[in-house]
Structure 1
Amino acid sequence: MTRTSPGPAGVWFITPGHSPDRFPIAHGCGADVVLVDLEDSVPAEAKAQARRNASGFFSAPAQTRSLRGVRISSPTTRDGILDLVTVGECPTRPDVVLVSKVESARDIEVVAGALDTPSYSPYLYALVETPRAVQELPSIVRAGRIAGVGFGTADYAAATGSSKGWEAMLHARSALVTSAAAAGIPAVDSPFYDLGDVDGLRREAERVRDLGFAGKCCVHPDQLPAVTGVFTPAAEEVAAAHAIVAAAEQAGGRIVRVNGQMVGPPMVRAARALLARAQARTVQGVTA
């Protein structure tokens, strides 16, 4: 299958598919990606209704420049198969498909085979939530149609019997960002589930950003400002990056000193990447 370009990163927002009264909040929240969920946040008895609601989520009038997406159940399950049929039959289809509980590259290939047409090929993200998925990351991130990966702390903690704390999740997160970087695709972190702990949310968002994650998912509108602030480069960072790039260009690629620090090609690449993220956030309508 043809390799997909890297998909969107930044701030993601997910809302349950069986609660259409919440859809306008998602559409107006300004996140980079807004997802309707057909998986874990939807009770079993409400999944059929969530699938019926999905078409309205994708076709609602645009309020922001957010990409629209869906989280589907594993394609190895009955619910996942029904989710794929629903997405494939929607008059307006999602930009992003987040595939739950991916454990092999084949899972992504199955979804691509079910959804791709000559005129439609969504960004496919593999949601890594199990120990087996972490073990299989080197092959998962090389799937021909994969555009990015996500991490699910709740299911991973349940599978390993661990807590969802930082230390318990550090190995899996590190493996995820390492494999994603090697494949040239973004990694988006799990939601933070303590809705009342804004400081904890901000600390975790800063930690995953520093670890190499390109974005983080939110499950409540009140979480968006903190996560957006963390993943939006500060004005000082943007100014420093401009200085590094300008100095490097003037030096013709040679190692130079900028504000007392030696700057070589890796620092220049990082500065260019930061400027690209800042530009993307500006286009999205968010300023540093």
Structure 2
Amino acid sequence: MARAATLPRRARVTHPVVPSTFLFCPGNRPDRYDKALRGGAPGVIIDLEDAVPLADKAAARRDALAWLAALPPAGQGAPMVALRVSSPQTPAGLEDLYALAHAGALPALDLVAVPKAEDAAGLRMIHAHAAAANPALRLMALVESAQGVRRAADIAQAGPWLAAMAFGAADFSAETGADNTWDALAYVRGRLLFEIAGSGVPMLDVPHIAIDDDGGLRGDCERARAMGFHGKLAIHPRQWPIIVRAFEPDPARLAWAGEITAAYERAGRRACAVGATMVDEPVYQSALRILRRAAAPT
């Protein structure tokens, strides 16, 4: 109770909707950029961080920014394009941000994915510099450390340009010594979702690292969706269709949500019964959340 009394009231803002998955593409493989973009995934992340060895980072940075500069702005229904920079706590990350700020107009770049996010202040500074490439640019905060988990509520309040957050289990496990398994990290996932509850920021789950384990990926998606995750990141082209299907709204659930919201609004947003279900404000908000998810890009 004492901790709750000291926390500031969390403001709920309208955050841009992101798809249920993004496919990572290594930044040091410019030959794969166009293939990733045209492969059907609803979102693509060109990765300058973990996928790129230190010796290749300068070339990857140059290739990625040149490709983005030549890319026309996306039309409706086109994949969302993101760039994951290296950690801002490293020289390579600072060089990524400097190059991004001085790259000129990049209207096709929708998001910058920021690794090792640990506080809102750092994200605000990064956004101020990165937005030089595109005033409408948004950020995705990757929570990959114990400090980031502890500060998740603060991160979620960084600004309306925060499009999403995502859990980075591999780095978290490396820091804490936890096994990178669902059971070992179930508490951390729940803690993240608890901390950002009410913020309106969607949370994406970590990629499934076994690329040929379709059954395991489906199981992880089912668990993540049940917990309240918005989607899950992908590291291989065979993964994203499984993720999209797993996070699609169930038709019966969608029909239920439509019936609930319509009845509650007809009742003037007063408690009412819909069949055997008693509908009040929390039930109504849950139904609205289902409808919003259905309207989101997959």
Task: Compute the TM-score of the two structures, normalised by the length of structure 1.
Answer: 0.88
Please list, as runs of the form range in 1=range in 2, the aligned pairs for 1:1-288 lying within 5 A after superposition.
5-9=14-18, 10-58=20-68, 59-60=70-71, 62=74, 65-88=78-101, 89-93=103-107, 94-117=109-132, 120-144=135-159, 146-281=162-297
**One-letter code aligned to 1:80:** G
> For residues 277 and 13 of structure 2, what CA distance do their matches in structure 1 show?
37
> For residues 267 and 274 of structure 2, what CA distance do their matches in structure 1 show?
11
Change (3 A) 1:42 1:148: same
Aligned sequence identity (%) = 35
> For residues 187 and 118 of structure 1, what CA distance do their matches in structure 2 show?
25
**One-letter code aligned to 1:11:** T
> For residues 134 and 31 of structure 2, what CA distance do their matches in structure 1 show?
31
Change (3 A) 1:264 1:146: same
Instruction: Check the 8 A contact 2:105/2:133 in 1, yes or no.
Output: no
SS at match of 2:21: strand
> For residues 111 and 214 of structure 2, what CA distance do their matches in structure 1 show?
28
Instruction: Check the 8 A contact 1:153/1:190 in 2, yes or no.
Output: yes
Change (3 A) 1:276 1:138: closer
> For residues 204 and 107 of structure 1, what CA distance do their matches in structure 2 show?
31
SS at match of 1:207: helix
Per-residue CA deviation, residues 121-146 of structure 1 (Å, 9 max, x unaligned), is 41112111011211222322222453
> For residues 162 and 262 of structure 2, what CA distance do their matches in structure 1 show?
34
SS at match of 1:14: strand
Measured after TM superposition, the shift of residue 16 of structure 1 is: 0.7
> For residues 273 and 136 of structure 1, what CA distance do their matches in structure 2 show?
25
**One-letter code aligned to 2:215:** D
Aligned length: 280
> For residues 8 and 18 of structure 1, what CA distance do their matches in structure 2 show?
29
The ranges of structure 1 where at least 4 consecutive aligned residues each deviate by more than 6 angstroms after the TM superposition are none
Instruction: Check the 8 A contact 2:104/2:132 in 1, yes or no.
Output: no
Instruction: Check the 8 A contact 1:157/1:164 in 2, yes or no.
Output: yes
Change (3 A) 1:119 1:198: closer
**One-letter code aligned to 2:240:** L
Change (3 A) 1:108 1:201: same
- Which range moves more in the overlay, 75-84 or 175-184? 175-184
Change (3 A) 1:247 1:119: same
SS at match of 2:142: strand
Instruction: Check the 8 A contact 2:248/2:294 in 1, yes or no.
Output: yes
In structure 1, list runs of 5 or more residues that go unmatched.
Answer: none
- Which range moves more in the overlay, 245-254 or 160-169? 245-254
Task: Compute the TM-score of the two structures, normalised by the length of structure 2.
Answer: 0.86
Per-residue CA deviation, residues 78-114 of structure 1 (Å, 9 max, x unaligned), is 1111111222215425210110112222321221232
> For residues 55 and 104 of structure 2, what CA distance do their matches in structure 1 show?
21
> For residues 288 and 67 of structure 2, what CA distance do their matches in structure 1 show?
35
> For residues 204 and 259 of structure 1, what CA distance do their matches in structure 2 show?
33
